[in-house]
Amino acid sequence: MKQAGVILASASPRRRELLAAIGVSFRAVSAEVDETPRIGEDVSDLVRRLALEKARRVAGSEKESLVIGADTLVAVGGRILGKPSDAKEAAEMLYSLSGRSHDVLTGLAFVKSDELLEENCVTISKVTFKNLSAVTIEKYVATGEPLGKAGAYAIQGLGAGLIERHEGSFTNIVGLPVTELLGFLLRFGTERIKWEPLR
């Protein structure tokens, strides 16, 4: 049986690291899509749609490859938090998360065009922040880590110090729910993709 190449439709270094950590041989291709929510679209539907759009965008020119798309957002009090555009917005996001629980949602999509295969799912984890002082927020933002991260923090980095507890998938909070990913690959057929030896 011919093996399918695997493409990660994402520029995220965290997703690349997680996929490499489980031994999947892949290449990463950035997929730009309009991430504006549609009227009446809730956050779960939004991350599902964006993950699928990213995977489809790449799969259109990579029909024999298995394309994996993902999109992660944070939701708190009915507000959707994506990636902050600057330090000021990062600080505002962190103030809104301080002392509260929020949901981290990741849409995950798998597309293989030559087999008309499309699957997707949404994984939700809950994170509770400590009460953050203005000084803590200022110092964390000054590290630069919040930029480029949904919700303006990285649980796998210095941002772990802001967190009181989390429930659900840790890798989902980082940006790629590995349990759900491996579940799909087992159904797809692990023999159909190339694996790298784990060190």
Task: Give residue 7's pLDDT.
Answer: 96
Where residue 4 falls among pLDDT bands split at 50, 70, 90? confident
Active site residue 71: yes
Mean pLDDT of 28-41: 93
Domain positions in the chain? 6-192
Task: Give the model confidence (pLDDT) of 133-145 as tens digits.
Answer: 999 999 999 999 9
In CATH, 6-192 is 3.90.950.10: yes
Q: Which of 71, 86, 103, 114 is catalytic?
A: 71
Separation CA 125–CA 180 (nearest Å) = 13
Portion of the chain with pLDDT greater than 90, in percent: 89
Q: Which helix (H) or strand (E) holds 109?
A: strand 101-112
**Cα–Cα distance, 133 to 115 (Å, whole number):** 53
pLDDT score for 29? 95
pLDDT exceeds 70 at position 89: yes
Q: How does 94-115 read in b/e, with b if 16+ C-beta sit within 10 Å? A: bebbbeeebbbbbbbbbbbbee
pTM: 0.93
pLDDT at 1: 56
Half-sphere exposure of residue 40, counting CA atoms within 13 Å on the CB side? Answer: 0
Band of the pLDDT at 199, cuts 50, 70, 90? low
Q: What residue type is assigned to position 45 of the chain?
A: D
Element (DSSP H or E) covering residue 164: strand 163-167
Q: List the structure tokens of 124.
A: 């939700």
